[in-house]
Structure 1
Amino acid sequence: MHDQAKHPSQESRRAAAAATAQSPQSGLVQPIAAGALAAVVGFASAFTIVLQGLAGVGATPEQAASGLLVLCVGQGILAITFGLISRKPISFAWSTPGAALLMGAGVPQGGFGVAVAAFLLTGLLIVIAGIWRPLGRAVSAIPLPLANAMLAGVLLELCLAPFRAIAAAPLLALPIVLAWALGWTFARRFAVPIAVAMTGLIVALATPIPAEAWAHLWPEPVFVMPVWDLVPVFGLAIPLFIVTMASQNVPGLAVLRSNGYEIAVRPVFIATGIASWAVALLGGHGLNLSAITAALCAGPEAGTNPARRYIASVTTGLVYIPIGLGVGFAAAFIAASPPLLIQAVAGLALLTSLAAALAGALSREAGRLPALVTFVTTASGISIFGIGAAFWGLVAGGLMLMLERREHGAA
Structure 2
Amino acid sequence: MLPFKLSHVVAGFIAVLVGYTSSVAIIFQAIDRLGATEAQANSWMLVLGVGMGLSTLLLSLTARMPVLTAWSTPGAALIALGTGATLPEATGAFLFCAVLLIVTGLGGWFDRLARLVPDSLANAMLAGILFSFGIKIFDGISSNPVLVGIMVATYLAMRRYGPRYAIAVVFLAGLGHVAVTGGFADAALPLSLARPSFVMPEFQPAVLIGLGLPLYLVTMSSQNMPGVATLRADGFEPRIGRAITVTGIFSLLLAPFGGYAFNLAAITAAICTGPDADEDPRTRWKAGVFTGIFYVIVGLMGATVIGLFLILPQALVLTIAALALLGSIGNSLSAALTDKTDREAALVTFMATASGFGLMGIGAPFWALLFGLIVRFALRR
TM-score with structure 1 setting the length: 0.89
Match of 1:154 in 2: 129
- Do the aligned residues in 2 keep the contact of 1:162 with 1:177 (CA within 8 Å)? no
The Cα offsets for residues 130-153 of structure 1, whole Å up to 9 and x where unpaired, read as 122334311343211011101110
Gaps of 5+ in 1: 1-23
- Do the aligned residues in 2 keep the contact of 1:58 with 1:107 (CA within 8 Å)? no
Q: Which residue of 64, 81, 84 maps to 1:107?
A: 84
Q: Does 1:266 align with 2:235?
A: no
Q: Which amino acid aligns with 2:264?
A: L
Q: Which residue of 252, 256, 260 maps to 2:227?
A: 252
Q: How far does residue 178 in structure 1 lie from its aligned partner after superposition?
A: 1.0
Q: Please give the alpha-carbon distance, in whole angstroms, between the structure 1 residues aligned to 2:177 and 2:43.
A: 30
Instruction: Give the ranges of 4+ consecutive aligned residues of structure 1 lying more than 4 Å apart after TM superposition.
Output: 24-27
1:112 and 1:349, CA in 2 relative to 1: closer, same or farther beyond 3 A?
A: same
- Do the aligned residues in 2 keep the contact of 1:129 with 1:136 (CA within 8 Å)? no
Q: Which amino acid aligns with 2:47?
A: V
Q: How far does residue 209 in structure 1 lie from its aligned partner after superposition?
A: 5.9
Aligned partner of residue 341 in structure 2, secondary structure: coil
Match of 2:256 in 1: 281
Q: Please give the alpha-carbon distance, in whole angstroms, between the structure 2 residues aligned to 1:159 and 1:151.
A: 12
The Cα offsets for residues 172-215 of structure 1, whole Å up to 9 and x where unpaired, read as 2211111111101111222112112223333444223633x22x
**Map 1:163-242 → 2, pairs under 5 A:** 163-205=138-180, 206-208=183-185, 210-211=187-188, 213-214=189-190, 216-242=191-217
Match of 1:390 in 2: 365
Q: Please give the alpha-carbon distance, in whole angstroms, between the structure 2 residues aligned to 1:179 and 1:161.
A: 19
- Do the aligned residues in 2 keep the contact of 1:55 with 1:61 (CA within 8 Å)? no
Match of 2:34 in 1: 57
The Cα offsets for residues 67-90 of structure 1, whole Å up to 9 and x where unpaired, read as 121011011001111111111010
The Cα offsets for residues 214-261 of structure 1, whole Å up to 9 and x where unpaired, read as 2x5211211000011222222210100000000100000000011110
- Do the aligned residues in 1 keep the contact of 2:74 with 2:218 (CA within 8 Å)? yes
Stretch moving more, 308-317 or 216-225: 216-225
Q: Does 1:343 align with 2:318?
A: yes
Aligned partner of residue 93 in structure 1, secondary structure: strand
Q: Cα RMSD (Å) of the superposition?
A: 1.6
Q: Does 1:68 align with 2:45?
A: yes
Gaps of 5+ in 2: none
Q: How many residues are paired up? A: 379
Q: Does 1:28 align with 2:11?
A: no
Q: How far does residue 50 in structure 1 lie from its aligned partner after superposition?
A: 0.9
1:222 and 1:202, CA in 2 relative to 1: closer, same or farther beyond 3 A?
A: farther
Q: Please give the alpha-carbon distance, in whole angstroms, between the structure 2 residues aligned to 1:27 and 1:368.
A: 39
How many percent of aligned residue pairs carry the same amino acid? 36
Q: How far does residue 325 in structure 1 lie from its aligned partner after superposition?
A: 1.3
Q: Please give the alpha-carbon distance, in whole angstroms, between the structure 2 residues aligned to 1:191 and 1:167.
A: 23
Match of 1:88 in 2: 65
Stretch moving more, 282-291 or 131-140: 131-140
Match of 1:322 in 2: 297
TM-score with structure 2 setting the length: 0.95
Q: Please give the alpha-carbon distance, in whole angstroms, between the structure 1 residues aligned to 2:22 and 2:109.
A: 34
Aligned partner of residue 66 in structure 2, secondary structure: coil
